[in-house]
Chains A and B, each alone.
Chain A
Amino acid sequence: MDLFFVLLLGLLLGGYLVLDGFDIGSGMLVRPLGRTEWERRAMITAFGPFLLGNEVWLVATGGVLFGAFPLLEGEVLGELRALVWPLLVVWVVRDAAVWSRSRLPGARWRGFWDTTLAVVSTVFAAGWGVVVANLMIRLGDGGAAHPVYGWFSLLWAVTMAVVFAGHGAVFLTARLPQVPAAAVAGTARRLLPAGAGLLAVATVVTVAAGVLPQRAGALVPVALAGFAAAAAPLGARVLLGRGRPGLALAATAGAVVGPLLMVATAGWVVVRDSAADPASLSVLGGVAAAVLPVIVLSQAWMWWVFRHRVDERSVVFF
């Protein structure tokens, strides 16, 4: 049962990073890449239908963290409050920006929210980098004393900001109408190698900096996960070149979850040990097992309905 919940937690958080990851990445790019109001609106419409269904993965992560790992919840959120709290504010402002910008006409209103969206999305992406770094420090338990916001966090912050931006750019390439998609693809091709390079550097530093226990058993899996993540954006770039943005998106998804896998290999035992009492887990497990298929099907249906590129007939709201 414990293992089931570790996997479920990983699935939810990983799913969140991949899915809301392209909302975050796209949000970073709407302002800089959208040259006209029409293009910006099309970009927002590209991720709009998914936004609610994507961010709910993090809501569920929070719920399962509380339900299945109550001790960890208190600890992770409590110790990292200097990080969790600003992230929460950033998340809320991101939602408000998406929700508000198209409610009123007027170039200044929309420009304000687009700028806000770009700024908070970038901070949000970087914040996930800081989360990765801190989970590595705390769960890996290598004994190194790093502050919540140290140079190690900064390295991961920059890395994840670039990785999310690349993920978003690939998503937009896949979802926008052909003409703007071609322009975004150019940005994607520049971002992806940068993301790959940063992931490789961050992996080397993570292994070498004494953040993790200095044993081959702990370091090798982390290094493998890290380098696999670093290779993914390069693969995505090749696939983009071949005109396969959908597959490229799958590859950048790998780049986004790679760091989570590094955390997981380093710290899943700690997570498992903080699981709730078996009686509670079995109730929750039964419910989770029953609803997971429904959740997966409804998400798959959403993807199916909005699988085409945005066009003039696509419905807008955000």
Chain B
Amino acid sequence: MDAVEISRLQFAVTGSVHYLFVTLSLGLVLFVVAFQTLWTFRKDPVHERLTKFWGRLYVVNYGAGIIGGLVMEFQFGLNWAGLAHVTGNVLGGPIAIETLVAFFIEATFLGMWIFGWGRIPRLLHLGLIWVVAITAYVSAYWILAANAFLQHPVGHEIRDGVAFLTDFGALMRNPNLLDAVQHVVSAAVVTGALFVAGVSAWQLLRRTPDVIEFRRSLRFAVVALPIGVYPAIHFGFLQEVVIEQSQPGKLAAMYADPERTLRVQQELAARFGPGDWLPPDWVSVPYQIMMQTTFGLALLSIVLLVLLIRNWVVRLRVPLYLLVALIPVPFVLVICGWLVREVGRQPWAVYGVLSTEDAASPLSTGAAAASFTGFAVVLGGLVLLNIVLLGRFARRGIEDDALGMPLGATLGSSTSDDDSVLVGR
């Protein structure tokens, strides 16, 4: 492998790791918002306990999202200097805006939400999580705006080999962006719904004492599932339309269709000159997985809705086992989706403007390999750690001090010098 390939692999791995957690954050926060809103207005302790349970999972997961995100952000400079040189004027904008508009407020308010529990007036505290959720989606929009520019560069002109911004509005209304955002949002809903449903089902199977709570979150999730799945299908197929116009080679690869491939290859050779302008056709595999699995989910989501009648989902038990087994599925789907999108963009980093080869920093293979190994080990370790922690908290069930525990309650006495005793919560 040469340095460029290693850098690509590194981006793929860190991107996937980041996205695994982020997509869960985006989905889970909707449930936290819903439960806390209900708790605030109805003052029902069931909703308070649900807010704490899902809120803690959300926060733990969020930490992993940040860790991956940090690596992603600084990778542009470390491994993809050519990208900044040629398209920095255009691509940098959405990324800078994302950090200023979304992350700043999101991070500040999330810290306040965690540590202001019970100390900030209830309505304001509810407002905090609403803002955190909204800014998370705003951040998804802006980062996808950057990514959509790579897929379908609009709103710029090239002078002396450098891209200059001419129309920022075009960047924000990029046809490649609008469907993608809605598809990603739908995917996040699917992920959140299947996660909440799966964990609730697991708790019910383990004969949790908190039957009322987990039954309620299960019902919420079962209702949310089709709200995510059907739009995901709709906007997924809509994306094909845009892809056909702007990245014909990708569509050919997605269906591994020899006839279309041949035709497109000739078109592209006419446009870009002689060479191989097609992405690898194995992207059809992740594409089929994403599509076929989703059809299954679409059917299942209707069946589950019916099973809500008279609480059959729980009483039959088989659906509970099924839901537990489905927890990993949305994560596989989102990785498949990104493989299609990003590998399908090859051999371009910015479609038709900058090849991946030219986008990479001039690194030695050794330097690239060392950086990749380091990130892979560190990130891999942290991911495993996080999954273990998420698993533990999901298993422990509802604890009333999951969030908002005062310092005084962490240990019996504040004066004990004896550390050998169990360290407390």
State the A residues within 8 Å of B (CB). 35-38, 41-42, 45, 48-53, 55-56, 59-60, 62-68, 70-71, 73-78, 81, 84-85, 88-89, 91-93, 95-96, 99-100, 102-107, 110, 276-277, 279-280, 283-284, 287-288, 291-292, 294-295, 298-299, 301-302, 305-306, 310-317
21 interchain pairs, CB-CB under 8 A: A41-B424, A52-B111, A53-B108, A53-B112, A62-B77, A63-B95, A70-B92, A75-B81, A85-B371, A92-B67, A95-B63, A99-B63, A103-B393, A105-B422, A105-B423, A277-B89, A298-B109, A314-B407, A315-B116, A315-B405, A315-B406
Contacts of A60 in B (CB 8 A): 99-100, 103-104
**Segment touching A, from B162-170, B256-264, B316-324, B330-338:** B162-170
Q: Are A63 and B98 in contact (CB under 8 A)?
A: yes
How far is it, in angstroms, between the C-alpha of A60 and the C-alpha of B67 when the chains are bound? 15
The segment from B173-181, B183-191, B268-276, B410-418 found at the interface with A is: B410-418
**In the bound complex, do residue B84 and residue A74 qualify as a contact, i.e. CB atoms below 8 Å apart?**
yes
**Cβ–Cβ contact B423 & A63, under 8 A:** no
Q: Which residue of B lies closest to A286 (CB)?
A: B168
Q: Is the CB of A53 within 8 A of B111?
A: yes
Chain A residues with Cβ below 8 Å from B392 are: 103-104
Q: Give Cα A107–Cα B71 distance, bound, in whole angstroms.
A: 31
A311 to chain B, nearest CB (A): 7
Contact B70 A91 (CB under 8 A): yes
Q: A38-B411, A49-B111, A66-B92 are in contact. Are A298 and B105 (CB under 8 A)?
A: yes
Are the C-beta atoms of B406 and A66 separated by less than 8 Å?
no
| Docked-complex contact B371 and A107, CB < 8 angstroms | no
Q: In whole angstroms, how far apart are the Cα atoms of A62 and B104 in the complex?
A: 12
In the complex the two chains form, is A41's CB within 8 Å of B164's CB?
Answer: no
Residues B407 and A41 in contact, CB atoms below 8 Å apart: yes
B interface, over-half SS: helix
- Give chain B residues whose Cβ lies under 8 Å from the Cβ of A51: 111
Residue contact B73 to A59, C-beta cutoff 8 Å: yes
State how many angstroms separate the Cβ of A153 from the closest Cβ of chain B. 19
Residues of A near B116 (CB, < 8 A) are 49, 305, 315
- Quick check: is B76 within 8 A (CB to CB) of the other chain? yes
Complex CA gap A290/B35 in Å reads: 32
Q: Which of B225-233, B303-311, B340-348, B374-382 contacts A (4 or more CB under 8 A)?
A: B374-382
In-complex Cβ contact of A63 among B59, B100, B378, B424 (8 A): B100
Q: Is the CB of B73 within 8 A of A311?
A: no
> Contacting B403 at CB < 8 Å: which of A81, A103, A317?
A317
Contact A84 B100 (CB under 8 A): no
Cβ proximity bits B217-261 to A, threshold 8 Å, 1 near / 0 not: 000000000000000000000000000000000000000000000
CB distance from B273 to the nearest CB of A (A): 27
Contact between A64 and B99, CB atoms less than 8 A apart: yes
B201 to chain A, nearest CB (A): 24
Docked pose: A76 CA to B103 CA in angstroms: 23
Residues from chain B with a CB closer than 8 A to the CB of A301 are: 112
Asked whether any CB of chain A lies closer than 8 Å to the CB of B137, the reply is: no
B165 touches A56 (CB 8 A): no
- A280 near B90 (CB under 8 angstroms)? yes
B385-412: which have CB < 8 Å to A? 385, 389, 392-393, 403-408, 410-411
Binds A, one of B26-34, B117-125, B192-200, B280-288: B117-125
* Across-interface contacts of B424 in A (CB, < 8 A): 37, 41, 105
Point out which of A42, A45, A70, A295 has the most chain B C-beta atoms below 10 A from its C-beta.
A70
Within 8 A of A (CB), among B110-146: 110-112, 114-120
Query: A78-B78, A84-B78, A88-B74 given as contacts; is B389 within 8 A of A107 (CB)?
Result: no
